[in-house]
Structure 1
């Protein structure tokens, strides 16, 4: 959760601000309204039912497990329904059990399922098993890179990235873009993903192209190129009108860039009718809080808690819940437990930053500062993590470093949200 920003401005300043915002308005409901009513279908096609019917407890029809798992994974991507992801896991586990030929393919597929569930260490074990079999080595290296980046093993991840280096291959380009972004080279990340998007366009693969559009939109947003970001979210919706991720991206532009929280909530409310995701509910709560609408905020937070009560989510939303406890509900002890668990599952600079902030909010500023110095500062460019670091530096009497980070983060207000301005101003004092 984030803090609400209240600005008390003179009428003449308000008039000037409104005129400026009108000039900067880049979104238009006429561009996306037609997509808001679109909803995806679940795994209910005749094609799916044929293969699903072939699966029995004693089934040996290996092909059916892979196809059914793929259909369930697609349904999860489209709806956010965790049940679909767990059903995909069950089908892939059965495939691993019975496969004699092609077992490495099932190892890799199950590992990717575990990545989606944030079960990174289990995914790593499966990836190692696939690698040991010696087949599909390019796919193995790509998988190892993805997992090691999540585990904060960046040097080893780079080794696997170099193993698939080929500027005409999509699998390399999309990972090179991620690597460049991790290293803080956003221009290279963007140019690389632009090249990947061109390659995807030539392949005429709509799913791949849609992925490129939404990820490129994210990068453009990070770079402050909001018009390009908006354009690419719309391109993704042209390919799939029900794409929840693209709609969420547009809602963020409307909220953070254009300061239209009511319109942002209207968009997200349509998404939440078919896309079951705790992070959507948490964003809705943040936006409602920025309006001062505590009743709506409470409703959205109840939805967040209700979704998280499903044990199927496991550790997928530990970081979201910890942030909520730290910045909204005041359950700092509970947040500390979750942050520790998150570091154990995913020891990156970002999770260490969350843990440091949890220690800070629990009164252990010295431990928080130690973590920031050893595990965070100079190791990440993630704005939220650096905002935590700046607050800890200031509380530790290191005002110079806090002010320096705050000044740098002023360029990331779009990513952090408009309410972050008050926190940054305080840090510079």
Structure 2
């Protein structure tokens, strides 16, 4: 009997070892979704919009009220995902420029931020040059130049601008974290974002931005318990942080394989926002469930929505992923990838082009672009996986294996089906 009892204990211990540990709590999700109180951020924003809109006198156009009103509309975009708020805000800023005959830098600084949000990076650069000609403070010049240079792939220039910042403040640490992440130095990226959080003070927006970015970095690094904790901490500050709610949904999907919870969270976000992002993620929930009809439905819905001209180039990467995957229309992916290179030429965007060319059976051209613009450059998880598939398709087994190994370090950035394929390729 003693031997039997020992065997039972060993069996139970072994079973526990192989049982997947779920990170996302169903009880937490239920409590989150049952909240009926409107977050303070929404109320405050609505009050600000109303207040500053009433302060504007069409007969005597000015700048202060107009700038505040434009800023409050941009804040509402961050809360609700309505792209029309950014368009309206842009229109107000251009009106200020006309009123003051392009002699004020402040409207241009707002236009730069909006252009980056909308992935109009060359336009952001032209706005920056105009603002600098008018005259802006050194700190504003360095931080804004960093933002533009970074997005355009001018990483050396971005680093030099960062070196000009003498104050160790939130803006410095946040940007240093982004630069470290680009270089694949995730530990430095995390520690820098921690410092940004410490310097955020009582500013709710800055604290949530640091917390959610910390969570994203931990997710990227495979430390999902920490990612979950930071997402929850940000949501506790305000449930208006829909990005963090979607982050928890992604952990439930890719790690816990709990499509039920992931779907519940994403459906909740979909009601709260006009952003197309939850539709995109619901497509992968359907894919994980093996529901090809729903998967196709979400893919087409997403493409239809983001193909509206108001979105411009904002979702090009997602479109390339869908057109080379679910919808299997690689010619469209190639056209989008080629167009994106006119917007910004980075190792990432060139990798998109390589993948699209490969999927369109243009193998020699794909390899040529890879050698000239991608090989040896930093890439994210999805691009690493794509390059692994390209190398495998070109019978370059060693190169493929190296890319798959690197992609596996960031595997939780990938969809469940891609993770399965990645693991299968690593096993061979």
TM-score (norm. length: structure 1): 0.90
**Offset, 1:46:** 4.3
Q: Give the match for residue 349 of structure 1.
A: 347
Instruction: State the Cα deviation string for residues 167-201 of structure 1 (Å, max 9, x = none).
Output: x311111111111111111111111111111111x
* 1:35 aligned residue (32, 37, 43): 32
Q: Give the match for residue 164 of structure 1.
A: 165
**Offset, 1:397:** 2.1
User: Which one is further off, 402-411 or 383-392?
Assistant: 402-411
Q: Give the match for residue 11 of structure 1.
A: none
Q: Give the match for residue 134 of structure 1.
A: 135
Q: Give the match for residue 253 of structure 1.
A: 251
Q: Give the match for residue 218 of structure 2.
A: 220
**Offset, 1:100:** 6.9
Q: Give the match for residue 285 of structure 2.
A: 287
TM-score (norm. length: structure 2): 0.90
Task: Describe the SS at the equivalent of 2:377.
Answer: coil
Task: Describe the SS at the equivalent of 1:290.
Answer: helix
User: Which one is further off, 187-196 or 19-28?
Assistant: 19-28
| Structure 1 residue 26 corresponds to structure 2 residue 19 | no
Q: Is the 8 A contact 1:72 1:87 kept in 2?
A: yes
Q: Is the 8 A contact 1:32 1:234 kept in 2?
A: no
Q: Is the 8 A contact 1:54 1:61 kept in 2?
A: no
* 1:273 aligned residue (271, 274, 278): 271
Q: Give the match for residue 10 of structure 1.
A: none
Q: Is the 8 A contact 1:278 1:317 kept in 2?
A: no
Q: Give the match for residue 83 of structure 2.
A: 82
Number of matched pairs = 412
Distance 1:293 1:342, change over 3 A: same
CA distance in 1, matches of 2:395, 2:102: 62
CA distance in 1, matches of 2:359, 2:214: 35
Unaligned runs of 5+ in 1: 1-14
Higher relative contact order (CA 8 A, sep 6+): 1
Q: Is the 8 A contact 2:284 2:415 kept in 1?
A: no
Q: Is the 8 A contact 1:43 1:71 kept in 2?
A: no
| Structure 1 residue 242 corresponds to structure 2 residue 243 | no
CA distance in 2, matches of 1:119, 1:42: 30
Task: Describe the SS at the equivalent of 2:23.
Answer: coil
Q: Is the 8 A contact 2:381 2:406 kept in 1?
A: no
Distance 1:367 1:43, change over 3 A: farther
Q: Is the 8 A contact 1:384 1:416 kept in 2?
A: yes
Instruction: State the Cα deviation string for residues 10-49 of structure 1 (Å, max 9, x = none).
Output: xxxxx99985575622221322433335666389734422
Instruction: State the Cα deviation string for residues 342-377 of structure 1 (Å, max 9, x = none).
Output: 111121111111111110011111111122222222
CA RMSD of aligned residues (A): 2.3
CA distance in 2, matches of 1:18, 1:282: 36
CA distance in 2, matches of 1:88, 1:96: 13
CA distance in 2, matches of 1:138, 1:417: 39
Q: Is the 8 A contact 2:296 2:327 kept in 1?
A: no
Q: Give the match for residue 107 of structure 2.
A: 106
Q: Give the match for residue 5 of structure 1.
A: none
